[in-house]
Structure formats: structure tokens, C-alpha cells
Amino acid sequence: MHMPDLPIGTVQVVLVTPHSVLSTRCVEVDPRDPLTVQLAADLIATQRVSPGCVGLAANQIGVGQRVFSLDVSKHPKARIHHGEFVVVNPEIVEATRNEKGREGCMSVPDFTGDVKRATRLTLKAQLPGTAEEIFIETDAFEARAIQHEVDHLDGFVFLDKVAGAHAIYPRQTYL
């Protein structure tokens, strides 16, 4: 994958639930639109300054469009990874081998929860700026993170996907 150069991004405020933009499905956008390119840059800028943050969906910074950023390259649970990237109009085309894991989210600061996610997946998406169509095949932690971000774009947070009534835990500290 060849990430096009992005302009300098502006760090944005990360919204927390309850908020309507977090529970509304985001809309498809034109990857060539300069506003989309700026949004991609803002996501990267915000992700970089947020400790422990490995991914951000556009609606987490208040923009209801199908764009997310990701960078799991420094996470110990990552196996395959694609470095730091932003994708537009992502779509999971294949997902297999579910496994349970405990997730936290910047937009849900008071809880963590156990969520079953596929450990192998293929994502189809476009790159900001060039609109090049790409396929990302990945596994393990990057696969989990991608599913978490696509859920955001569909208007869901991990609370909507927890494994059961006793799979949500109060969180006492957030990094």
C-alpha cells in the first residue's frame, strides 16, 4: 500500500458517548475531495498525540464520513501490520476465525468489554487523495482494530458488540 502524502493535520477533540454522531452510520465520501484529504490528515494528527491510541474513526472527531486512521505497528499484539494509514469508504469483504478480546475506546472512557472479533480479514477501501482501490489482508491485532473502527463508522461502539451481560467492566484509569 502506498499512502499518498497528506497535508499537515490539526489535532481535534475526541468525542465521547453519548453523542449522536457516534451512534449514526457515517456516509461514503469522495476520496479526492480536498476536505476528505484534510480529514485524513486531522485523524493522523489526533491519533499521534493521543497516548495509546491505535486508531480513530472520523465520527470520533465529529465528522460523519467513512474514513478511519490506524497504526498498530508499535503494539505488542500486532503480527501483520500496514504501518500508519488512512482509508476511505472501507468495507470488510472477508472475516474469519473469531476470538474474544477485551477492548477499550477513547470514546467510551469508563468501561472496557469483551468482544469477539475475526482474527483474519480482508478490507477493501480507497486511499485519500488518489482514490486508489486497495485490499488489506491482515490478522491478529490489526484485524481487531480494523473491525473496531469499521464498527464506529457503522454507528456502533464496542458496547454494542459485547459478548454478554457480564462482559462489561468498569474502568478506573484511562491512559
| Subset of 141-160 contacting other proteins (CB under 8 A) | 141, 144-145, 148-149, 158
Taking CB under 8 A as the rule, does residue 171 contact other proteins? yes
Q: Exactly one of 105, 125, 140, 150 binds Zn ion (CB under 5 A); which one?
A: 105
User: Could you say which DSSP state residue 18 is in?
Assistant: S
Read off the C-alpha cell for 132: 486508489
| Subset of 40-99 contacting other proteins (CB under 8 A) | 52-55, 75, 77
List CB contacts of 66: < 8 A, sequence separation 6 or more: 26, 27, 28, 29, 58, 88, 89, 90, 153
Choose the stretch contacting other proteins; rule: CB under 8 A; options: 7-15, 35-43, 102-110, 123-131. 102-110
Q: Exactly one of 3, 106, 121, 125 binds other proteins (CB under 8 A); which one?
A: 106
Of 156, 157, 155, 158, residue with least CA distance to 167? 158
Binding mask 107-126 for other proteins (x = CB under 8 A): -----x--------------
The residues that are catalytic are 149
CA–CA separation, 140 vs 108, rounded Å?
A: 22
Read off the C-alpha cell for 99: 476470538
Taking CB under 8 A as the rule, does residue 169 contact other proteins? yes
